[in-house]
Amino acid sequence: MLDINNSIITDCKLITLPRIFSDTGSLTFAQNQEHIPFEIKRVYYLYDIPAGESRGGHVHKSLIQMVIAASGSFDIILKDGYNEKNIFLNQPDLGVLIPPGIWREIANFSSGGICLVLASELYHEGDYIRDYSDFTDFKQR
């Protein structure tokens, strides 16, 4: 797996998850290994985000994650210290896979937007870099 120093924006992948359509609505699922290339150890979600607020300005040293717009829409801004990419997510059957070492922010939540995150690690504050200049210093090493 890519390490924090070497990961770049193009290592972030858009993954289409299965969607079962029926007259009574849709169902999407994600299974370890088949759709998610890591074992999911933790799930969290961001919701009730006030208009204009952004979340998640940080990078992980070893955690891999998949970010899904479970409801509504938002932008994910990805940065590797050299390049950046903005992905507009608005489908519950689409996930963005983010390896360690990629700075990510989540912004422009629609009303009722829910950001679901599937994570490869338990919560551990020591795995975060929350200061952008610390991150760019790290990438240049």
Whole-number minimum distance, CB 96 to ligand TYD, in Å? 15
Would you call 58 a catalytic residue per the annotation?
A: yes
| 23 vs 125, beta carbon nearer ligand TYD | 125
| 29 vs 44, beta carbon nearer ligand TYD | 44
| 17 vs 106, beta carbon nearer ligand TYD | 106
Residues that bind ligand TYD (CB under 6 A): 42, 44, 46, 55-56, 58, 123
Residue 124 forms beta bridges with which residues? Answer: none
Whole-number minimum distance, CB 46 to ligand TYD, in Å? 6
CB atoms within 10 A of CB 105: 17
**Cβ neighbours of residue 24 closer than 8 Å, sequence gap 6 or more:** none
Residues marked as catalytic: 58
